[in-house]
Amino acid sequence: MVAVVFSLSAYNRYMNDREKVETLNVRLRLMEEQKIVIEQKRRILHRVKKFIDQADSLGLEENRWATYEVNIAQGTAFFEMEQILNQCVNTTSYYYRPVLLHIKTNGESDNNEIEEKPDLKSADLSEDQVGDVLLTLNGAFVVRHK
Give the separation between CA 99 and CA 58, rounded to whole angstroms: 25
pLDDT at 125 over 70: no
Would you state the pLDDT for residue 46? 98
- Is the same domain home to 56 and 73? no
- Is the same domain home to 9 and 49? yes
pLDDT at 11 over 60: yes
- Is the same domain home to 131 and 68? yes
- Is the same domain home to 39 and 76? no
pLDDT tens per residue across span 45-82: 999 999 999 988 877 777 888 899 999 998 888 888 88
- Mean pLDDT confidence for 19-32: 97
Would you state the pLDDT for residue 99? 94
Whether 78 and 107 have beta carbons less than 8 Å apart is answered as: no
pLDDT at 140 over 90: yes
> In the chain, how many domains are there?
2
Q: Give the 3-state secondary structure of residue 6.
A: helix
